[in-house]
Amino acid sequence: MNQFEKLGVSEELAELLTDLGITEPTPIQEKTIPLLFEGKDVIGQAQTGTGKTFAFLFPILEKIDLENPNTQALVVAPTRELAIQITAEAKKLVSDAVGVLAVYGGQDVDRQIRKMESGSHLIIATPGRLLDHLRRGTISLDNVNFLVLDEADQMLHIGFLNEVEDIIRQTPKNRQTMLFSATMPDQIKQIAKNYMKNPVIVRVKAEKITLDEIQQLVIETTDRGKLNSLLKVMKEEQPFLAVIFCRTKRRANKLNEQLKGKGLLSEELHGDLTQAKREKVMKLFRDAKIQYLVATDVAARGIDVDGITHVFNYDIPLDTESYIHRIGRTGRAGQNGKAMTFITPKDFQEMRVIEKEIGMKIQHQRMEEKEERKSERKEERPKQSKEKKKTQSRNTDQNRQGKKKVSEKLTDTKQSRHTSSQEKRNVRSKSRGQSAGTQKSGKPFENSRTKNSRKKNVKRAPR
């Protein structure tokens, strides 16, 4: 038995869910669906990826009256991407008899009007384009029984809060209202107070929806070294498709230009882009014609693209809910994914809060230490080489000095021998002079025998 039947879902819808491989409800579905079947207003505090879309779609689709051609249900979403995603989920569950229409900017208005003429039981719309149709009189909300405000906090961040209130005021007061939001700022609470009837609050804790399929890593770096750290990680990881999150539109624009300057296939996605440009960028990303999508949190709401293998948090998210939403872009449909968050010293405290709230200690890695170690090893080699050269030079000098000393000693020895020989020759010369003097003075000459014997007895001085 499909577990959704216990929540009040019809047997027919339960069988369809079984065919789709959906048999067990998520926590948000389990808590929300019975309340909605009872007709109560509900505030669901849950992040993207918890299954909240089906939580509000199942009761709505079960209650739509096919014999009534008017618009009976309205879902308001902050972005075109999320509106398209919800529309796709709804169409999986209904027959052609149920009119489901997505209304968002960037589409041809006349084409949307023609589609609405055939009747739309359920409209999923962005605030701006919906208000445009309301002003034109091409959409009527007079028969809306079910109103859903999805990702309400993001509509607040974008600046759609006034538009949302204008839309709410144009729906019947007896409608059933459902509000889903990852966070509950005071302004969202005020909307709930002003436009909802005794809402039941359903919360799903963050730690229950952190996906096990996502490998998380925190990379400690510096402001100056962050870009190089990102490029190094991208080169090592080689993602198929990756989303790179920045906090602001300016940061996203600057980083995208830097990546393009490095020859990488990237584009930016943020609120300053026209709808036509947004559509073009998303088509390039879905078709894998670009590898990196540099996005802000708001612009990336509702992105559900097959093949996203990595999420890089270039800037740390504002809060835990945003962190969970970001990393939920990967590791979808049972696939593995990686989420890598780059932090600088000033981000440490915020990262500790995120780790505490998701109930896990994420592995940290210091990129700069690795680079420093490599640099140190490179520096040591030249130092060793210089020392070796100094030693060799010192040895060479010592050898030269030694050779010089030896040479000097040899020279001194030669000079000494030369002096000794010269002295002996002088002695012999003097001796001969004395003999000659004796002969002249009447002393007998030495005969040949005496001369020869002297030659034999006299030892020549070495030369």
Sequential DSSP letters for 212-228:
TTEEEEEEE--TTTHHH
**228 and 173 share a domain?**
no
Which residue would you say has higher pLDDT here, 385 or 90? 90
Burial 53-84 (b: 16+ CB within 10 A, else e): bbbbbbbbbbebeeeeeebbbbbbbbbbbbbb
What is the amino acid identity at position 350? E
Least confident of 58-62, 82-86, 390-394: 390-394
Domain termination residue (choose one: 322, 341, 368): 368
H helices, E strands: number in the chain: 16, 14
**192 and 225 share a domain?**
no
Alpha-carbon gap, residue 71 to 141, rounded angstroms: 7
Alpha-carbon gap, residue 56 to 147, rounded angstroms: 10
In a domain, 383, yes or no: no
**231 and 147 share a domain?**
no
pLDDT of residue 405: 52
CB 345 within 8 A of CB 201: no
Confidence of residue 44 (pLDDT cuts 50, 70, 90): very high
List, for residues 118-137, the tens digit of each pLDDT value.
778 999 999 999 999 999 99
Domain termination residue (choose one: 350, 368, 386): 368
Alpha-carbon gap, residue 55 to 61, rounded angstroms: 11
Give the CATH number of the domain where residue 320 resides.
3.40.50.300
**70 and 163 share a domain?**
yes
Alpha-carbon gap, residue 28 to 327, rounded angstroms: 19
In a domain, 434, yes or no: no
Which residue would you say has higher pLDDT here, 167 or 323? 167
C-alpha 74: how far from chain center:
36
Tokens, residue 227: 């870009």
**125 and 244 share a domain?**
no
Give 439: exposed, middle or buried? Use CB within 10 Å, 0-12, 13-18, 19+.
exposed
Contacts of 451 (CB under 8 A, 6+ apart): none
Range of the domain at 187: 3-204
* pLDDT reading at 206 higher than 80: no
pLDDT of residue 459: 44
What is the amino acid identity at position 59? P
**146 and 283 share a domain?**
no
State the chain's mean pLDDT as an integer.
81
In a domain, 183, yes or no: yes
CB 77 within 8 A of CB 86: yes
* pLDDT reading at 383 higher than 60: no
Alpha-carbon gap, residue 331 to 309, rounded angstroms: 7
Alpha-carbon gap, residue 243 to 255, rounded angstroms: 12
pLDDT of residue 407: 54
**25 and 169 share a domain?**
yes
- Give the number of domains in the chain: 2
Least confident of 164-168, 418-422, 450-454: 450-454
**194 and 234 share a domain?**
no
**56 and 98 share a domain?**
yes
φ and ψ at 137, to 5 degrees?
Answer: 80, 15
Which residue would you say has higher pLDDT here, 300 or 336? 336
Tokens, residue 376: 């140190």
Least confident of 30-34, 107-111, 138-142, 223-227: 107-111
Dihedral angle over CA of 369, 374, 379, 384, nearest 10: 120
Least confident of 70-84, 197-211, 248-262: 197-211
In a domain, 457, yes or no: no
Burial 116-143 (b: 16+ CB within 10 A, else e): beeebbbbbbbbebbbbbbeeeebebeb
Which residue would you say has higher pLDDT here, 252 or 417? 252
Short-list 392, 129, 137, 345, CA closest to 223: 345
Alpha-carbon gap, residue 242 to 287, rounded angstroms: 13
- DSSP bridge pairs for 225: none
